Structure 1
Amino acid sequence: MVKRKRPSVDKFKEFVRTHPGLTNQVKVGKYSWQQLFEEWYLLGGSHEKWIPYIEEKKDQKVEETKSTDTGDMVSTLVNTFKNMDVAQIQQYISNANQALGAIQGILTSFQGDKSVKEEPKKIETRQNPFVFKKD
């Protein structure tokens, strides 16, 4: 049997996402998730106790905009590649190949008269007089 979460748990998770300072408090050991959940459930999300954690979030946003971390760029690229559909990309490449082939055909049709006049000289190839065959 699959246990279903209560809606309050999902709301608490969303609350924690908007207040990342709470995660730091749990990591430090000041609170446990159970304690935070119980306080959030009793006090509500708009209680003044949560104000310092909202400010931490604002400070983190300012720091994120100031710094361009290569780790963030790499993770963004990885996520972009994960979301790509290989079949769709292959279709785009195929269409581009067909378009280039059509353009190449048009260009050769315009240059067709020129190529007939300037045929390269063919070099006569002789057979090698020293052909060794196995007996």
Structure 2
Amino acid sequence: MGKSLHPKVKEFKGFVRKHPKIVKDVRNGDANWQDLFEDWYLLGEDDTRWDKYKDEAAKESSPTNQGSKSGWMDQVGDMVKKMDANQLQQHINSLSEALGAVQGVLSQFQSNNNRGSGTATKTETPPKPSHPFSFRKD
């Protein structure tokens, strides 16, 4: 056996040793190793997905650990660790679309107000050139 395991696989094996109920679920056919490893790799050890595998002693110690945290910065740090980047990107995109819609409605109201006064609106700006940088030959 000259092959050594990837460090993440070694960490996962240590995690499984701490939570022997995981092995029981795999042997019963309720879970498989690939899915468990992927969840562990993506979600981390502290995710709520692993609560059903934790021992009663670990469940009793976790509320005391959370109560002893120094402040809201620790809680924010924990939330950042648990965030899914894809979901965050989707939320940002939808927020951007909503803001764009609001800006469109506001610009329509502004253009309706400016039409009565006979002045040019900001939306009637000349089109920008398709190439913002001019390249010259030497």
User: Does TM, scored on the shorter chain, surpass 0.5?
Assistant: no
TM-score normalised according to structure 1 size: 0.39
Which protein has the larger Cα radius of gyration, Structure 1 or Structure 2? 1
TM-score normalised according to structure 2 size: 0.38
Query: Whose RCO is larger (CA < 8 A, sep 6+)?
Result: 1
